[in-house]
Amino acid sequence: MFAQIGYYICVPFAWLTRMFYQWTGSYGVAIILFTLVVKLVILPFQLKSKKSMMRMNRMQGKIKDIQTRFANNKERQQQEMADLYAREGINPMGGCLWSFLPLPILIALYYVIRTPLRYFMNLSETVIAEIRTLAESLGYIAATEGNAVAYEQIHLTKFIHEHWDSFAGKFDGLLDVNYQFLGMDLAETASNVMGQFPHGGWAVWGLLLLPFIAAALQLVMSIASMKASSNTMNSSNKMMLYLFPLMTIWMGFMFPAALCLYWIVNSAFSAVQELLLNKVFAKALDREETEKEREKREKRAAKMMAQREQMMQQQAQQQGKKPQQNSSKKKKSAEPEKKDKRSSTTEAGRVGNRPYARGRAYSENHYED
């Protein structure tokens, strides 16, 4: 089942590589064009991943603050982190998932290079057996032990190239593959030619240099990628920074040089891509942060204006109530005064009752006393 799945994964990469080889006639150029096309296809995913990682790096200050404030409450810490990611619109796994995408491509290309008859030429096992039988009749000896068994189809393909006249036109889909590129055999491994050093010329020196060139470009790409991070490089980052180049050197010696060429071209494109994206996304993120700050200021100012208008309305309503209260109080205070004035006039003080009062009625009995 897994073999069948692997076959269908390898088929499109094999078809693309075969198309470029038939177009250019150079195995090395086909690998370079294949790498370029693959980089262009996965570029949109890498752009998303890169932008997400740069956003995460810019949030490290806020993340550390949450981790410090809620160091003793892991549940609250996780909740605050989730709220922060939601506010900023960031998926913490978005930058990691797409970074693993080149790995299955590398594995698929390895099988395309290692088994050219099965994948690169897309021949069936029956046809491959017939080709092997014809090759053995011409003096081909298949490897039966050691590392050569894994690369037996490569050796058979090189034998077919050397005796192409005996194979031409006899098998549909069979190609005459020439692995020579810039004076190097891309089907060979650096470990196999180490015994010929320092002799052998560029054919040996070039194969031995390829793993180190690939490792150097891998290091440059890693440094360019870490430049986007605002964090100081800790011990784990330093270890990963040098671990991948060392692994590249080891794999470059053990695998065919064609795969090492893919690493070199891929790392070169990736390094340039990282440098450009760091500049482009840094400016884009600066603009986004400036825009967010402007929106926050506008919302804060609008909120303050709304609160101010509400306070002014409340004050106006309170001032409108005070005159009414004052007038009602004046009316209430005026009513007792009027009552007092009316009650101050006694019966004796009325006209006609007070003796000797001017304008009052005369009493003829006034002097009798």
73-82 pLDDT tens trace: 878 888 887 8
- In which band, very low, low, confident or very high, does the pLDDT at 120 lie, cut at 50, 70 and 90? very high
Looking at residue 104, its pLDDT comes to: 85
Looking at residue 93, its pLDDT comes to: 64
- Give me the amino acid identity at 202: W
Mean pLDDT of 222-250: 70
In a domain, 144, yes or no: no
Which domain, by its residues, includes 237? 2-121+175-291
Average pLDDT score, the chain: 79
36-47 pLDDT tens trace: 999 888 888 777
Q: Between 53 and 228, where is the model more confident?
A: 53
In a domain, 302, yes or no: no
Of the candidates 196, 185, 126, 195, which has an alpha carbon nearest to the alpha carbon of residue 157?
A: 185
In a domain, 331, yes or no: no
Tally of domains in the chain: 1
Looking at residue 24, its pLDDT comes to: 94
Looking at residue 239, its pLDDT comes to: 73
Q: Between 275 and 20, where is the model more confident?
A: 20
Of the candidates 184, 178, 186, which has an alpha carbon nearest to the alpha carbon of residue 160?
A: 178
In a domain, 157, yes or no: no
- In which band, very low, low, confident or very high, does the pLDDT at 280 lie, cut at 50, 70 and 90? confident
pLDDT higher than threshold 80 for residue 327: no
In a domain, 169, yes or no: no
pLDDT higher than threshold 50 for residue 344: no
- In which band, very low, low, confident or very high, does the pLDDT at 267 lie, cut at 50, 70 and 90? confident
In a domain, 340, yes or no: no
Looking at residue 255, its pLDDT comes to: 92
In a domain, 329, yes or no: no
pTM of this prediction?
0.71
In a domain, 114, yes or no: yes
Mean pLDDT of 249-277: 88
Mean pLDDT of 180-196: 89
pLDDT higher than threshold 60 for residue 351: no
